[in-house]
Amino acid sequence: MDFSKLLTDPINEIGILLTNLLAGLGLAPGAIAVVQAIIGVVVIATFCLLLPLFLIWFERRIVARMQDRVGPNRVGWQGLLQTIADAIKLLIKEDITPIGADVLVYNAAPILSVIAVIAMWAVIPFAHNMYGVDLNVGVLYIAAVGSLGTLAIMMGGWSSNNKYALLGAFRTAAQLVSYEAPMILSMLVPVILAGTMSMTGIVNAQSQVWFIFSAPIAAALFFITSVAEVGRTPFDLLEAESEIVAGFHIEYTGMKFGMFFVAEFLHAFTVGSLTAVLFLGGWSGPFSDASPLAGVFWFMLKSFLGYFIVILMRATLPRLRIDHMLDLCWKFFTPLALASIIVTMLVDKSLTTLLPNADAWARGGILFLANVLLGWATVSLLAASARKMRLAEEGGATGAGHDAPGDGHDEHAPMDAHAPAHASQAPAH
């Protein structure tokens, strides 16, 4: 084994070592390939399952600081072992299955929920030669396995034999299926700019200008709609304890609830890492071409930045009501995503024909200006319609003497003042 190559190409070197080992044991080459594939799958899945141990601690400490308290700091140094203590607590809880529950579906729902999130990590590249598989339809694959998570939640809500869980599952399915539309549309913008649906291809296309600079509206849209797909605040109506008795996972106790919980946190981090790959340049940064370990470092840094913003949104924003949330999706995000795709397409194609020799920064700059124009047009449209509604209200108020209920004219204003979700969800179950 070549130690100098271990720094530049670790996966390949370990692969060669394993191949020699297994061939020495006398396995056929086909079987060796199968064993290596299985080992790769196990490594990625283990990494994904061990990551929430750190993510949950990270989130609880940061939300606590934002709420002017300390957060868990007793168990282990600075509270790092708190999540392990919570996991042990969940494991030793009594495993109750409600009467009349559909046992097979009831047990399969949390497993499918975790599977849907771990399967996303198969295509996410950690460095230029460290990834699970380089599908040439990677972006669409992410959307596909994301929709498996919706199915898991509906299965969970249905099989609990509880009408509140069923109502929660219906709302969840409505929200998740609705927000898939603007999410997939905004994922198309980096695909258009990079010319390929492969994740490594998109990262390579950002070698000079990151797509967050060329397509800020699409980046913001993708981030917000992915947070809605996960079901985090401000879209966490589905599972908050004050709403419809905790929604679809009311009847789940112990480790099954723990699996839903782990799936949600891992999905939130996956949102951060997808934003990093699609818009922030993935693993690129200083020294990342020389050593893939530096690439992994930059990738994790950017993913944690995205995750930090998700936590920030959770700690500060109040919850949206279900009808406001769906209005926001269909009446604001989807038209904006479509407009963003059309603007990006037109500007990109005209740049290719009119200015074929423009360098990457010029193209990025012109796309940025086009996005700024689109944002200005959106804001002025919103302001005009808000003014119209306000004038209609005041006209009605002076005429009839009662204030008309303003509903949804400015999508960001009418949020119900629910208490922001508190940090510790784990001890409640």
Q: Please give the structure tokens belonging to residue 366.
A: 């012109």
What residues pair up with 127 in beta bridges, in sequence order? 130
Nearer to other proteins by Cβ, of 112 and 220: the residue is 112
Nearer to other proteins by Cβ, of 119 and 374: the residue is 119
Q: Is 192 exposed, middle or buried (0-12, 13-18, 19+ CB in 10 A)?
A: middle
Smallest gap from Cβ 122 to other proteins, in A, equals 12
Nearer to other proteins by Cβ, of 146 and 282: the residue is 146
Binding residues for other proteins, rule: CB under 8 A, are 30, 34, 102, 105, 135-137, 140-141, 143-148, 150-151, 154-155, 158, 166, 170, 173, 177, 180, 197
Smallest gap from Cβ 140 to other proteins, in A, equals 5
Smallest gap from Cβ 288 to other proteins, in A, equals 27
> Nearest 5 degrees, angle CA 91-CA 93-CA 97?
105
Helical ranges in 67-197 per DSSP H:
82-91, 103-118, 138-159, 163-194
Q: Is the peptide bond before 234 cis (omega within 30 degrees of 0)?
A: yes
Report the alpha-carbon distance of residue 61 to residue 29 in Å, rounded. Answer: 49
Report the alpha-carbon distance of residue 127 to residue 284 in Å, rounded. Answer: 8
> Nearest 5 degrees, angle CA 39-CA 44-CA 50?
120
Report the alpha-carbon distance of residue 154 to residue 378 in Å, rounded. Answer: 35
Nearer to other proteins by Cβ, of 134 and 359: the residue is 134
Nearer to other proteins by Cβ, of 197 and 320: the residue is 197
Nearer to other proteins by Cβ, of 6 and 144: the residue is 144
Nearer to other proteins by Cβ, of 125 and 146: the residue is 146
Smallest gap from Cβ 88 to other proteins, in A, equals 33
Burial call 43-64: b when 16+ CB within 10 Å, e when fewer: ebbeebeebbbebbbbbbbbbb
Q: Please give the structure tokens belonging to residue 261.
A: 């919980």
Report the alpha-carbon distance of residue 34 to residue 36 in Å, rounded. Answer: 5
Question: 199 near 138, Cβ under 8 Å?
Answer: yes
Nearer to other proteins by Cβ, of 135 and 386: the residue is 135
Q: Which of 335, 421, 341, 415 is nearest to 382 (CA)?
A: 335
Spacing of C-alpha 246 from chain mean position? 21
Nearer to other proteins by Cβ, of 27 and 177: the residue is 177
Smallest gap from Cβ 227 to other proteins, in A, equals 19
Nearer to other proteins by Cβ, of 226 and 233: the residue is 226
Nearer to other proteins by Cβ, of 28 and 39: the residue is 28
Report the alpha-carbon distance of residue 15 to residue 304 in Å, rounded. Answer: 29
Smallest gap from Cβ 160 to other proteins, in A, equals 13
Q: Which of 44, 40, 56 is nearest to 263 (CA)?
A: 56
Smallest gap from Cβ 124 to other proteins, in A, equals 16
**Residue 95, Ramachandran bin (φ over 0: left; ψ between -120 and 50: alpha; else beta):** beta
Q: CB-hemisphere CA count at 13 Å for 164?
A: 12
Cβ-based neighbours of 384, under 8 Å, separated by 6 or more:
none
Q: Which of 250, 235, 269 is nearest to 117 (CA)?
A: 269
Smallest gap from Cβ 137 to other proteins, in A, equals 5
Report the alpha-carbon distance of residue 407 to residue 328 in Å, rounded. Answer: 12
Smallest gap from Cβ 161 to other proteins, in A, equals 12
Smallest gap from Cβ 410 to other proteins, in A, equals 26
